[in-house]
Amino acid sequence: MKMTIKYIFDVDGTLTPSRGLMDLDFKAWFNTFCLVNDVYLVTGSDRDKTFEQIGHTIDLAKVVFNCSGNDVWADGANVRRSEWTMPDTLRSMLNGWLQQSSFVLRTGNHIEERPGCANFSVVGRNATLGERKLYIKHDEGMRERETIAHQINSHYEDITATIGGETGIDIYPTGCDKGQVLYEFNDHDTLYFFGDKVLPGGNDYPLAKLLKHPSKVFAVSDWRDTWRILKDLK
């Protein structure tokens, strides 16, 4: 009997450029792919941001796990939403990092609370593409996000921080990460997961580490890599 595969995709950096829109040619191809395959999306972003990036492609997924699985949508309806309030001590810690960072550019919206989680960005989520590139270069040299995430993880037993996207840090109650989406699937399901942050410390890792053969994890560098692999699989 032919193996039925269910496909799970991260969005930002996997189906789209970071914080960017889906390439139109890839979008047309991927929409057709969704019509003949079981496709699921799991992203740290909220639903509005996901729609902004991929448009009505969002409606072609069987289930969309927004906010790392803390805000779940199916058939255009919200089926589950977790609530979480960031501790004041953590908010103070993040504001302290904003003051201490040697990266001086600030664009606003540095701490964004979402259903069941939050995102922290030193440069701010209002940054332009050019401003984001400046921070990416800074972070590559200073490993600032890695340091901040490590400090959070060392300070709190019940809160986890992981690298999300190119400029942010995803923060959530321990266990409320992308790995939780596996409740949607059966043990006998074969899952192919595509993500750009599947290594330890990345926000795709909690799901990637749980998948066992014959399920597979595809570490991609960008949406072009995703497209190439999907074509090769078919």
Per-residue pLDDT tens, the chain, 234 aa: give them. Answer: 457 899 999 999 999 998 899 999 999 999 999 999 999 999 999 999 999 999 999 999 999 999 999 999 999 999 999 999 999 999 999 999 999 999 999 998 999 999 999 999 999 989 999 999 999 999 999 999 999 999 999 999 999 999 988 999 999 999 999 999 999 999 889 999 999 999 999 999 999 999 999 999 999 999 999 999 999 997
Residue among 48, 38, 40 at smallest CA distance from 14: 40
Q: What is the pTM of this model?
A: 0.91
**Long-range contacts made by residues 44-47, C-beta under 8 angstroms, separation at least 24?**
44/12, 44/68, 44/117, 44/119, 44/164, 44/165, 44/168, 44/170, 44/178, 44/203, 45/11, 45/12, 45/114, 46/71, 46/114, 46/115, 47/71, 47/73
Which residues in the chain are classed under CATH 3.40.50.1000? 5-81+176-233
Fold of 88-173: 3.30.1240
Q: Is the Cβ–Cβ distance between 116 and 72 less than 8 Å?
A: no
- State the CATH class of domain 5-81+176-233: alpha beta
Can you tell me the distance from the alpha carbon of 40 to that of 105, in angstroms, rounded to the nearest whole number? 36
Contacts of 57 (CB under 8 A, 6+ apart): 22, 27, 30, 31, 34
Domain with CATH 3.30.1240.20 in the chain: 88-173
The closest of 143, 140, 100, 97 to 120, measured between CA atoms, is 97
Strand pairing report for 117-121 and 168-173: antiparallel
* pLDDT for the residue numbered 173: 97
Measured between alpha carbons, how far is 47 from 71 in angstroms, rounded to an integer?
Answer: 8
